Amino acid sequence: MRIHIIQHVAFEGPGAIGEWGRERGHTVMVTEQFGEGRLPVLEDFDFLVIMGGPMSANDDATFPWLAGEKRLIADALSRQKAILGVCLGAQLLAQALGARVYRNSKKEIGWFPVRLTPEAAGSRLFSGLPAEMTVLHWHGETFDLPQGGVRLAESDLCRNQAFEIEGRALGLQFHLEVQPESLEGLIGNSLADLAATGPAVQTRDEIRASVHLAQTLRPALYNILDRLAEAAP
């Protein structure tokens, strides 16, 4: 299978998603938007992965390439490609489906739990996953549930943490893909976020102290990715 990953900044790479692709023997290609990479055409991939980034999904004026990326996501949806959006990627996926992206009431930065919704039990992507998982959050914005979306997970401060469309497109507001080395890159390049205060903003030391959780999340991530791969055309 041909997987294409869109990466927005150097310090938010695919992490364990890329490792999964290589372990499964898939072809993995990457567009680096921060390096003026070229977006693929629909015929070039079966599975599209959209990573996170510090910019907003609404920042088209500052980052003109966002408009083209949203068109690609919409076209991939219409062609029933498999799609995974992570953090900013989830917001772009929701926006491509007509949903609103806006500032969340509180920032979530650090390791905090998400709870699966009752609908997750019937989801082809989330069924069988733990009812609660402690995952890495790094966001200040959220999105409305798009039309046709099924909400799969929530947290105390953010209602829409995960949603799916027809079992082939998935938006994750949180990070299952993070690895120890990528976490250090995220910390080092996001000091302004860590200077914020709030009920769900951890310090650098607190975030580093829970890095072992990255390994415990890998089975859930691989399970989800395998199921998305099965949905690819």
pLDDT in tens, 124-137: 999 999 999 999 99
pTM of the predicted model as reported, rounded to 2 decimal places: 0.97
Q: Report how far residue 51's alpha carbon sits from residue 7's, in angstroms, rounded to the nearest whole number.
A: 5
Q: Give domain limits for the chain.
A: 2-231
Backbone angles phi, psi at 116, to 5 degrees: -75, 145
Do residues 2 and 29 make contact, with C-beta atoms less than 8 angstroms apart?
yes
The rounded distance, in Å, linking the Cα atoms of 96 and 140 is 19
Q: Which two tokens stand for residue 182?
A: 């990528």
Domain 2-231 superfamily per CATH: Class I glutamine amidotransferase (GATase) domain (3.40.50.880)
CA distances from 28 to 14, 40, 92 (A): 10, 12, 21
Active-site residues, by number, are: 87, 175, 177
The stretches in the chain having pLDDT less than 50 are none
Using CA atoms of 93, 98, 102, 105 in order, give the dihedral in degrees to the nearest 10.
Answer: -90
φ, ψ (nearest 5 deg) of residue 114:
-120, 145
pLDDT of residue 197: 85
Measured from the Cβ of residue 62, the count of other Cβ atoms closer than 10 Å reads: 9
pLDDT in tens, 72-115: 999 999 999 999 999 999 999 999 999 999 999 999 999 999 99
Strand partners, 201: 109
CA distance 109 to 194: 8
Instruction: Check residue 11 and give its pLDDT.
Output: 96
CB 190, CB 138: distance < 8 Å:
yes
pLDDT for position 61 = 96
Segment holding 216, helix H or strand E? helix 213-231
The contacts found for 215-224 with CB under 8 angstroms, 24 or more apart, are: 217/133, 217/135, 217/176, 218/16, 218/176, 220/129, 220/130, 220/133, 220/176, 221/16, 221/17, 221/20, 221/176, 221/177, 222/16, 222/20, 223/128, 223/129, 224/84, 224/125, 224/126, 224/129, 224/170, 224/176
Three-class DSSP category at 60 = coil
CA–CA separation, 92 and 84 (whole Å)? 11
